[in-house]
Amino acid sequence: MAGLLGGDPAQLNLDAGGSSAILQGKLEEADHSSTNWYFPREELDRTSPSLRDGIDSRRETYFRKSYCTFLQDLGMRLKVPQVTIATAITFCHRFYLRQSHARNDRFMIATVCMFLAGKVEETPRVLKDVIYVSYTLRNKKDPSANNRIKQKDLYEAQKQLVLYGERLVLTTLGFDLNVHHPYRPLVAAIKKFNVSQHALAQVAWNFVNDGLRTSLCLQFKPHHIAAGAIFLAAKFLKVKLPIDGERAWWQEFDVTPRQLEGTFSRL
Amino acid sequence: MLELKNGIGAKRYVKGISLGEGTYGVVFKALDTQTNRTVAVKKIRLGKYKEGVHVTALREIKLLKELRDPNIIELIDVYPHKRNLHLVFEFMESDLEAVIRDRNILLSPADVKSYMQMCLRGLAHCHKKWVLHRDLKPNNLLISSDGQLKLGDFGLARIFGSPDRKFTHQVFARWYRSPELLFGSKQYGSGVDIWAAGCIFAELLLRRPFLQGSSDIDQLGKIFQAFGTPRETQWPDMTSLPDYVEFQFTPAPALRSLFPMATEDALDLLSKMFAFDPKARITAQQALEHRYFSTDPAPTKAHLLLRPASKAEGMRPPPELASPKEPVVLSPPAKARRISLFPGVAGAEHIHHSKESKDGSSAATVGETPSDHSGMAITDRSYLKRKLDMDVHFEDERHV
């Protein structure tokens, strides 16, 4: 993806001309986080608790991808909205900012995060369903798993794990349950700039989803990611983005060219 | 890496008397040793709920962390302890229901204005952050020791704004429920809170609940008796609501006849808060900009509002009212006059007379109940420990 992008921030202005008169007010969401959840990549790599247990950043990246894939799959099987999946993924990312992979099974933590995200996003799924679906998914290759989890002993053990895990996740997250996603600023921007191309929205949306699987949401705030995704999508589809006099569209997101560059080069 | 502030959580607070039973657990008073502030700790039993931490608790935590405003209760801290979750709030001395009920308090027009202004400010902040309170009623409007009114109890609150999201209409105490809720609307907005705020406004003026329906249908009947049956032109969407039923037409009496003492401005604002069509109902922000708040009399300053007899007396220092530094005469003359009608029960003395009931009995037992939830066998625990890397405080609480 990075190959698509010129390094020169001036290029971010794209082609002037497609003007839009409705560029008023900012799209930035206020920062509500009582705790800072955003760190530069280098710091993330350097301070990872997993690293101290001998898990290098390549391996952690692999772990991250694997629980994201798992959560996406789990969420779809539980039929929760994408926002709930995104929240579960973010909880998981943040959990491993403060806890080690070596001592916390990532699929169990992911299951807990999905259960919790369901409640937090007002799309709850009953614990029993979460456990059944998660267990079968984790043991996909084992056809007997489906029946095994229905046995009381195994089910009870899994249930206790999830319930204790819920408390562990909550305390690790410092009870900070407000997760803001790039979806809202993305949709707002697309509406605001009157970008009617359905394709642009779709491609930008996909970039946001892709970004979710990386440490991107630990490095950049949602509206920065949204801005990066729109820019990248426009570039990808060779669509002109509107400009209003001196103000480029991305200024609406309150990002600097440098931040924007940083965002999309990671995408 | 992990801040162990939760570990010291339980030690940070010195437990005081019980303040009563909340929706999902005991609330007790405590002293925050870090700040020397009096706080209220809501203890939520985790073991009871088979679906893990209860969604109302999660909601309250999530939303209150988002809402920081002088007119919204502050969530100071959250920590797990034993098999409970503890939510630490700023301590609130009283609530608006106690004010309205306390016949020794005369509410001047300026006092009513002050309460309404604080209520609407808190509400405007909620709505700005896309949060619906959904349970406004006088006893959820808490009053701090410096007289500030704050919105409390966010256990029913929800984020709104996604157009296709459906909500339950079973919210609010019935008397504060808006007509669209009573007609079963599931896609409502901030108007439901405004209607409830209007009911509270009316209650402040009347000193009794305004529309006391005994069933949902009766509630609608009471509403239409007061404001007339809405016509199609007043509220076009009404007939398409899920539980819509046609009511026999009653004409609206003059609003003035219901609130003989209210000023024109007050009546005008009230009528806008009670607009039938939620789309036409005034917003919290618009209400705050209504001329009612800018014309005389100016709202009474919060710390000058007369406080009711407190619900629970504990380590709290005697209220300012009782102290010689702040004599009763600071209140508007009207109030002093009212109090003097009851020579025996003047402001200060009154504080002491109704405190006994709630606290005495349960005080000793709070927090000392041994946690006897057996949970799981010892052998299972080591497995857990391996799997989840439990924190110290999880570990030792299971041995308590």
Contacts of B58 in chain A (CB under 8 A): 116, 119-120, 177
Contacts of A29 in chain B (CB under 8 A): none
pLDDT, tens digit, 9 for 90 and up, residues A208-236? 888 888 878 888 888 888 888 887 887 77
Establish if A87 touches chain B: CB-CB under 8 angstroms: no
Residues within 8 A of B (CB atoms), A 154-173 only: 157, 160-168, 170-172
pLDDT > 90 fraction of chain B, expressed in percent and rounded: 51
Establish if A124 touches chain B: CB-CB under 8 angstroms: yes
Residue B337 CA to residue A33 CA, distance in Å, equals: 49
Contacts of A168 in chain B (CB under 8 A): 388-391, 394
Verify whether residue B111 is a known catalytic residue. no
- Do both A200 and A97 map to the same domain? no
Using an 8 Å Cβ cutoff, are B314 and B17 in contact?
Answer: yes
Say which residues have a Cβ less than 8 Å from residue B135's Cβ, sequence separation at least 6: B153, B155, B156, B157, B171, B172, B173
Residue B240 CA to residue B399 CA, distance in Å, equals: 58
Q: Residue A85 sits in which domain range?
A: 41-172
B42 is in an annotated binding site: yes
pLDDT, tens digit, 9 for 90 and up, residues B346-380? 333 343 443 333 343 333 333 333 333 333 333 33
- Do both A56 and A120 map to the same domain? yes
Beta strands B131-132; B84-90: pairing state: unpaired
Would A155 be classed as within a structural domain?
Answer: yes
Closest CA to A176 of A107, A93, A59, A258: A93
pLDDT, tens digit, 9 for 90 and up, residues A142-190? 888 888 999 999 999 999 999 989 989 998 898 989 888 888 888 887 7
Beta strands B141-143; B84-90: pairing state: unpaired
Contacts of B387 in chain A (CB under 8 A): 104-105, 108, 161
Record: contact A162-B80, CB cut-off 8 A: no
pLDDT, tens digit, 9 for 90 and up, residues B254-303? 999 999 989 999 999 999 999 999 999 999 999 999 999 999 999 999 99
Establish if A258 touches chain B: CB-CB under 8 angstroms: no
- Do both A202 and A221 map to the same domain? yes
- Which residue pairs, CB below 8 angstroms and at least 24 apart, start in B232-235? B234/B276, B234/B277, B235/B179, B235/B276, B235/B277, B235/B280
Of the three residues A172, A197, A229, the one that is the final residue of a domain is A172
Residue B397 CA to residue A82 CA, distance in Å, equals: 37
What pLDDT is attached to residue A252?
58
Using an 8 Å Cβ cutoff, are B109 and B201 in contact?
Answer: no
pLDDT at residue A111 is higher than 90? yes
What pLDDT is attached to residue B158?
79
Establish if A103 touches chain B: CB-CB under 8 angstroms: yes
B25 is in an annotated binding site: yes
What pLDDT is attached to residue B290?
97
| Average per-residue pLDDT for chain A | 77
Task: Please give the order of strands across the beta sheet that includes B84-90.
Answer: B13-21, B26-32, B37-45, B84-90, B75-81
| Tokens coding B50 | 């088979």
Q: How do the domains of chain B map onto residue ranges? A: 94-293, 374-400
What pLDDT is attached to residue A159?
93
Contacts of A100 in chain B (CB under 8 A): 389
Would A26 be classed as within a structural domain?
Answer: yes
| Tokens coding A111 | 């299951």
Gap from A161 CA to chain B (nearest CA, Å): 6
- Do both A129 and A19 map to the same domain? no
CA angle (A136, A137, A138) in 5-degree steps: 90
Residue A160 is nearest to which of B58, B66, B380, comparing CB atoms? B380
Closest residue in A to B386 (Cα) is A103
- Do both A242 and A202 map to the same domain? yes
Using an 8 Å Cβ cutoff, are A240 and A15 in contact?
Answer: yes
- Do both A230 and A144 map to the same domain? no
Gap from B55 CA to chain A (nearest CA, Å): 6
- Do both A145 and A218 map to the same domain? no
pLDDT band at A3 (very low <50, low <70, confident <90, very high): very low
Question: Please, what is the end-to-end C-alpha distance for chain B in angstroms?
Answer: 26
Please count the structural domains in chain A: 2
- Do both A163 and A185 map to the same domain? no
DSSP code, position B164: T
- Residue with tokens 């195994």, as numbered in its chain: A154
- Do both A216 and A105 map to the same domain? no
Would A36 be classed as within a structural domain?
Answer: no
Q: Which fold has domain B94-293?
A: Transferase(Phosphotransferase); domain 1 (1.10.510)
Among chain B, residues having any CB pair with chain A shorter than 8 Å are 1-3, 5-6, 46, 50-53, 55, 58, 61-62, 65-66, 78-80, 158-159, 165, 375-376, 380, 383-384, 387-391, 393-394
What pLDDT is attached to residue B143?
95
Gap from B220 CA to chain A (nearest CA, Å): 29
Phi and psi at residue B42, to the nearest 5°: -100, 120
Record: contact B52-A119, CB cut-off 8 A: yes
Using an 8 Å Cβ cutoff, are A97 and A218 in contact?
Answer: yes
Say which residues have a Cβ less than 8 Å from residue A18's Cβ, sequence separation at least 6: A240, A241, A242, A243
Closest residue in A to B7 (Cα) is A171
Measured CA to CA in angstroms, residue A168 lies from A92, A265, B365 at distances of 12, 34, 28
Of the three residues A147, A172, A197, the one that is the final residue of a domain is A172
Record: contact A178-B66, CB cut-off 8 A: yes
- Do both A240 and A187 map to the same domain? yes
Establish if A79 touches chain B: CB-CB under 8 angstroms: no
Say which residues have a Cβ less than 8 Å from residue A19's Cβ, sequence separation at least 6: A242, A243, A244, A245
Of the three residues A138, A153, A172, the one that is the final residue of a domain is A172
pLDDT band at B26 (very low <50, low <70, confident <90, very high): confident
Say which residues have a Cβ less than 8 Å from residue B77's Cβ, sequence separation at least 6: B9, B12, B86, B87, B88
Closest residue in B to A97 (Cα) is B1
Residue A178 is nearest to which of B2, B65, B158, comparing CB atoms? B65
What pLDDT is attached to residue A67?
95
pLDDT at residue B316 is higher than 50? no
Catalytic residue chosen out of the listed positions B135, B153, B193, B359: B135
Gap from A201 CA to chain B (nearest CA, Å): 18
| Tokens coding B199 | 């009911």
Compare B347 and A98 and report the one with higher pLDDT.
Answer: A98
CATH code of the domain covering residue A202 = 1.10.472.10
Strands (E), chain B: 13-21, 26-32, 37-45, 75-81, 84-90, 94-95, 131-132, 141-143, 149-151, 158-159
pLDDT band at B202 (very low <50, low <70, confident <90, very high): very high
pLDDT band at B9 (very low <50, low <70, confident <90, very high): low
Residue A172 is nearest to which of B2, B66, B384, comparing CB atoms? B2
Cis preceding-peptide flag for B308 (omega within 30 of 0): no
- Do both A52 and A145 map to the same domain? yes
pLDDT band at A257 (very low <50, low <70, confident <90, very high): low
Closest residue in A to B62 (Cα) is A177
Of the ranges A36-40, B18-22, B30-34, the best mean pLDDT one: B30-34
Would A45 be classed as within a structural domain?
Answer: yes
pLDDT at residue A205 is higher than 80? yes
- Do both A149 and A94 map to the same domain? yes
